[in-house]
Every structure is written in structure tokens, then in C-alpha cells.
Structure 1
Amino acid sequence: MATPVDVDAIDRAILDLLVADGRRTVTDIAARVNLSPAPVKRRIDRLERLGVISGYSAIIDPSRLGTGFEAFVELRFSGSTAVEEIRAAVVAAPEVIELCTIAGDPDALVRIRVNDVQHLQQVVDRLRRGGAVIGTKSLIVLGSWRGRPPD
């Protein structure tokens, strides 16, 4: 586990602003946290250097691309399957957007984005045919909400 980084209230405010809009300018952030741009830039650079900020990304609306159907699929593997084997079993499926290995039953949880339920069935069938997966359970997402990062 990574060593926690010491951040103060201003760092947290900067992080919250960047999470809300990663393209926000340093000048805008500086005005909102009551600092001049130079110290805000130094703080952002420090947070990046320390790995607190690991990157920036665009938030895509998958429904506009025809892949708005989302599901979580529980995966069960035989015996004591290694994490690398679990990763290898799902990495070839471009529809898998997230993999979490978890304690207990099941062994892994994958988040899948597809066109429709038939497409989901095809992806699950491919995962099963790989040989390592011995059981699945699909949970279709009806709605979702993404909250703020923890304080």
C-alpha cells in the first residue's frame, strides 16, 4: 500500500476543483482558493510528483457512442487462481472497463460496457469459453451516481 501524502485544506480544495473539471485553469483555481497562480501551480506539480494526481481524463457519455448498456459480472475461478491469471482471462475483452479482484466469493468483479443485452451475453460467453472462468453472475446497471472523492 502506498504511503499517505500529507495534504492540507488548500490541497484538498485544489483536488476537488480538478476532480470537478480537470481542464480548469491554474488562474481559475487560484482565484477559488484565494492564492496567486504561482503557488497553486507549485502545489499541483507537487501533487502530481507525489502521485496524488495520477493523470487527467475525459468523461465520455457511452450512450452517445452506442455502448450505454452497463453490467457488473461476478467471476468465479477454479482453485487458487493467481491474480495474473484472472487478469489474463479478461484483458482480451475490450468491453471490460474495470476489473477488481476481491476477497470472498466471487473471485473477481468486472464492469462491462456493451451495446445491449445480447452483446453482454456474447462477452460473458467469451469469458466462460476461455477455460479459467467456472461461474458467472451478471448484474445489469439501471442507473449510477458518481460522488465526490473522500475527504
Structure 2
Amino acid sequence: MDAVDEEIIRCVLRNARSTYAEIGEAAGLSAPAAKRRLDRLVATGAIRGFTALIDPQTLGWRTEAFVEVYCKGNPSPAELRRNLDEIPEVVEACTVSGAADAMLHMLAGDIAHLEQAIQRVREAPVIDRTESVIVLSRLINRPRL
């Protein structure tokens, strides 16, 4: 990976719908060269996919929680991900050190919606139990690149 690849990645992180011309302009390449480089980044797995980022506020999802997940047995991270992937209220999930096996960031429309989503998490075969904390206010929320 070189500086051109890094600029291509920065460009698609800012806007996954960037055209090859826009990517090329950002990276100092022609559109066809940008396409070849982007295709190579995808083929090597450096870029695993493209997605739309939805603003949960526009959906009315203003109730936010962090949920510690404790697993049954010792499921692999891939198995845990498969069990959580179909729950749209889970907007972020990480395996963690410490007593819990994973930490989830969840968003929902209200407390009842959050409770239903947490119940769906608990119903996953690999989940033993959860512990939740509800966010009262955000103090710092920095963008990531």
C-alpha cells in the first residue's frame, strides 16, 4: 500500500459513491487508473466493501445504549458476528478484553424498541446474558477516518 492507495481509501471513506474521476482527481490519477487501483484494493481485501451510512436520527432512533455481551462457551468472533449481523439496532460490535466477551453499540426509537432489540440479542444461541447502559448525553463524538 502506498500514498496513492491511501488517498483512494480516504476518498471512498468520505464518499463511497465517488466516481472514478473523483477518486482519480483526489489521488492524482486518471479515471481508468483509479478504477484499476480501486479494483486491486478490493481484490486484495484492503477494501472489504462499500456501504451507506444512515443517520439514525432521521429514522427517529434517538435511544442509545452500550450492551456488554457474555457468551455461552467460546464462540469465534465470526460466529458471534453471524448471530448479531441481522439485528439492525446493533450499529457497532466489538470483541473486548475483560469479563464481557463483546460490547455492542445499539440505537433504537425508544426504550420499548431498545428492549425488544436487546431481547433479540439475548435469543441468539451463543449469548448467555447481557448488561446494558443507556446513554443520557453525548459529551464527545468525533468523526473517524
Instruction: Give TM-score scaled by structure 1 length.
Output: 0.73
- Taking the aligned partners of 1:105 and 1:23, their CA distance within structure 2 comes to 40
- In structure 1, the gaps of 5 or more residues are 1-6
Rate the CA distance shift 1:129–1:145 in 2: closer, same or farther, 3 A.
Answer: same
Rate the CA distance shift 1:23–1:88 in 2: closer, same or farther, 3 A.
Answer: closer
Rate the CA distance shift 1:76–1:19 in 2: closer, same or farther, 3 A.
Answer: same
Rate the CA distance shift 1:108–1:38 in 2: closer, same or farther, 3 A.
Answer: same
Residues 76-126 of structure 1, C-alpha deviation per residue, up to 9 Å, x if partnerless?
346x44347755765664433333232221122122121123332343355
Rate the CA distance shift 1:81–1:50 in 2: closer, same or farther, 3 A.
Answer: closer
- Taking the aligned partners of 2:79 and 2:23, their CA distance within structure 1 comes to 43
| Contact 2:67 2:130 (8 Å CA) reproduced | no
Percent identity between the aligned chains?
33
1:3 equivalent in structure 2: none
- Taking the aligned partners of 2:120 and 2:19, their CA distance within structure 1 comes to 44
Tell me which moved more, 34-43 or 84-93: 84-93
Structure with bigger gyration radius: 1
Offset at 1:36?
1.7
**Matches of residues 84-95 of structure 1 in structure 2 within 5 Å?**
90=84, 93-95=87-89
- 1:32 matches 2:26: yes
2:56 equivalent in structure 1: 62
Instruction: Give TM-score scaled by structure 2 length.
Output: 0.76
**Match for residue 72 of structure 1 among 66, 79, 92:** 66
- In structure 2, the gaps of 5 or more residues are none
SS across alignment from 1:55: coil
